[in-house]
Amino acid sequence: MVADVSSLVDGERGLVSRRIFIEQDIYQQELEQIFARCWLFLCHESQIPKPGDFFSTYMGEDPVLVMRDTGGKINAFLNICRHRGNRLCRADSGNASSFSCAYHGWTYGNDGHLMAVPNERDAYYGELDQSQWNLVPVAQLDNYKGLIFATFDPDAPSLLDYLGEMAWYLDCFFDRREGGIEVVGGVQKWTIPANWKLPAENFAGDAYHTAWSHLSAIKTGFAGDFRVKASTQGAVLSPGNGHCIIALGPEDVAAPPEPDILEYEKQVRAEVEQRLGKRTSRVNPIVGTMFPNFSMLRAASYTFRVWHPKGPEKTEVWAWVFADKAAPDHIKQQLRLASIRGFGPSGTFEQDDMDNWQECTQTCRGVVSRKFELNMQMGLGHESYDEELKAWTSDFRLSEANHRRFYGRWAQVMGADTWQGL
């Protein structure tokens, strides 16, 4: 364990040690202190709509199986056989009433209970108490507006307490219209040689890079020009607990510049404003990260994703396209196409980002390079708490205030033995 992790993040001066992106012992502490304790995104309920549907994912590096049992209840368990620890379900998703381990055949129902053990009567002499060897459930499981979250920590705060004011900002992405959202198409997965925190903090507050890193893509016109227009308004906002949002001004349009999509957004605007309330007259949230590793984007692309850690220098990205469930089918398909053009493993914006995150990580390997802290001082001292927006808000639309709060929360959780006082 790291003796004094708080010394690696200096939020007051906007300095962050590069050690946190590369050292194995720090990464191991992250798995124990953050990914084994925080609320983590598993899947959207539209991905498992029917009894027996399941979805395989991870919480940190622990494999997890999310499934609806035969009665329709959603559960989540460690995706490991209790006999020898083999991965129980090898499929990414599907529908099943039971799961049999490929190693020795122990079989579990879709409610997690151990149903059958080969040779239980003769080899075990009927003495194995099968009720003690069911699948291991997560400690807490909850659903917020169709988003399924879980934590391994029974002492963690409730999901709503963990979200705090971030709940309203999630609504701006996932509950704009009656019925919420649905996933359009399948999950896209790819691996990048970068530390998971770099993409998480990028979505949390880095609007600074877009007009520079993505200028060539922006000039093609497929993603709109709001990122480079001098008239674009907005701010970075931190509603607490390490959660962070990038918002435009209420009149700024970030939707893909497709005529049908722009017309759709125009038609639903009054409904969205009525549903979300008066804060929409102040800000238009378009990008964000729910601490630690669940990010969302509703701009030229409509995507949400998880940054799965796979070591200090490796991240597996899982990304989905989403749309309002009430949107017409042709709008959903246009959003899907617009989203994968910009984001996803072959997206033009995504390629730029992956290259930057890779190099930011790899240069941390240098013994001398690692000694020099990162500068996150943009906007330092130029943010204040906005009572109406219920968030710490920057005075200008470009700021690293969210970076400081993201890493500040990281240091708090890494150094805390309990949730009390966090």
Helix, strand, coil percentages (3-state) for the chain, rounded to 5, are: 30, 30, 40
The answer to whether 354 and 313 are in contact (CB under 8 A) is no
CA distance 78 to 92: 14
Which residues partner with 319 through β-bridges? Answer: 188, 305
Angle at which helix 329-342 crosses helix 259-276, to 10 degrees, equals 100
| pLDDT the model gives residue 350 | 86
pLDDT digits (tens, 9 = 90+) for 329-388: 999 999 999 898 888 888 888 888 989 999 999 999 999 999 999 999 999 999 999 999
| pLDDT the model gives residue 307 | 98
Which listed residue (171, 352, 353, 403) is catalytic? Answer: 353
CA distance 245 to 285: 7
pTM score: 0.96
Closest CA to 245 of 279, 219, 196, 268: 279
pLDDT digits (tens, 9 = 90+) for 256-288: 888 999 999 999 999 999 999 999 999 999 999
| E strand or H helix that includes residue 375 | strand 374-375
Among left, alpha and beta (phi > 0; psi -120 to 50; other), residue 179 is left
Which listed residue (62, 69, 142, 209) is catalytic? Answer: 209
CA distance 309 to 195: 7
Tokens of 412: 């708090």
Residue with tokens 């999901």: 159
Which listed residue (111, 171, 175, 214) is catalytic? Answer: 214
How far is the CA of 353 from the CAs of 186, 213, 291, 357, in angstroms?
A: 22, 8, 20, 6
Determine whether 163 is exposed, middle or buried from the number of CB atoms within 10 Å of its CB (0-12, 13-18, 19+): buried
Residue numbers in the chain where pLDDT is lower than 70: 1-3, 223, 226
Closest CA to 75 of 53, 46, 58: 53
The answer to whether 224 and 253 are in contact (CB under 8 A) is yes
Active site residue 83: no
Map out the domains of the chain with their CATH numbers.
40-142 (2.102.10.10), 164-415 (3.90.380.10)
Active site residue 330: no
CA distance 298 to 288: 9
Which residues partner with 308 through β-bridges? Answer: 316
Peptide bond into 285 cis (omega under 30): no
| pLDDT the model gives residue 256 | 84
Which listed residue (206, 252, 324, 352) is catalytic? Answer: 206
Which listed residue (104, 155, 330, 395) is catalytic? Answer: 104
Residue with tokens 């007051």: 12
Handedness of CA 306, 309, 313, 314 (dihedral sign): negative
Cα dihedral 299, 400, 36, 189, rounded to 10, equals 40
Amino acid identity of residue 319, one-letter, is A
The answer to whether 205 and 343 are in contact (CB under 8 A) is no
CA distance 163 to 142: 12
Long-range contact pairs involving 348-353 (C-beta distance under 8 Å, separation at least 24): 348/214, 348/216, 348/217, 348/220, 349/214, 349/217, 349/223, 349/300, 349/301, 352/213, 352/214, 352/217, 353/199, 353/202, 353/213
The answer to whether 141 and 149 are in contact (CB under 8 A) is yes
Determine whether 83 is exposed, middle or buried from the number of CB atoms within 10 Å of its CB (0-12, 13-18, 19+): middle
Active site residue 382: no
| pLDDT the model gives residue 232 | 81
| pLDDT the model gives residue 19 | 96
